[in-house]
Amino acid sequence: MSANLFDLSGRRALVTGSSQGIGLALAKGLAQAGASVILNGRDGGKVGAAAAQIPGAQTLVFDATDHDAVRAAIDNFELSGGPIDILVNNAGMQFRTPLEDFPADAFERLLQTNVASVFHVGQAVARHMISRGRGKIINIASVQTALARPGIAPYTATKGAVGNLTKGMATDWAKHGLQCNAIAPGYFDTPLNAALVADPAFTGWLEKRTPAGRWGKVEELVGACVFLASDASSFVNGHILYVDGGITASL
């Protein structure tokens, strides 16, 4: 198989929530595969600092939960900056507390950040992709798309929704030449998981529960992202690719 199948030269990729963690790692990986990358977040300072780590990276600052702001930002960029060929919907948040005590406002924030943002940005970008007859959308799901753990039931619900929204995107948009898939990371050492990484008891549990016996490194998500962003996945649609060290495969 030719390595050219994975070459992203000449493609432009927008990664939401890419000022740190998984989003930044994926943006760097896409750039290394040849793509021109656009970093996004709500904080222009953080996004600019992240973009400085990637030669030639552009920035597009907007709140992914604001439908009108998303539409305006995407439409203006397509008009002046060129086509967005690849979208990685990575923006997300976590909130941990027992379900019986879970604040209603935190539940709403999770819904907006983890689910509504995928709809808002996905729809805005897809409208342009559809007119061109091609495009790649990669949503960041989670091991919690398939499994639950105490204290994060609403997060689990949002990531289950991302998985099914991915299938819906594929069902509606594959006929227009788009491939819409998801990456479902297991437990990775990221700022979102800092409290868990710092907890020896949790880390000990995770090492025993995961067949690979360790936390994932964010760089280990890059290969899956490049695959789903490239011509190598031209007939892959509506798929959820678990990158989790085997945790969903084992009791």
Cα separation, 127 vs 72, whole angstroms: 13
Cα radius of gyration (the chain): 17
Distance of CA 19 to the CA centre of its chain: 13
DSSP state of 193: G
**CA distance readout (Å), 226 to 7, 29, 138, 160, 183:** 8, 7, 10, 23, 11
Among residues 170, 171, 166, 169, the alpha carbon closest in space to that of 182 is found at: 166
Of 44, 55, 58, 46, give the one whose Cα is nearest residue 13.
Answer: 58
CB-based contact 185:142 (threshold 8 Å): yes
242 given a catalytic annotation:
no
Active-site position among 119, 155, 187, 242: 155
Would you please indicate which residues are annotated as catalytic (active-site) residues? 155
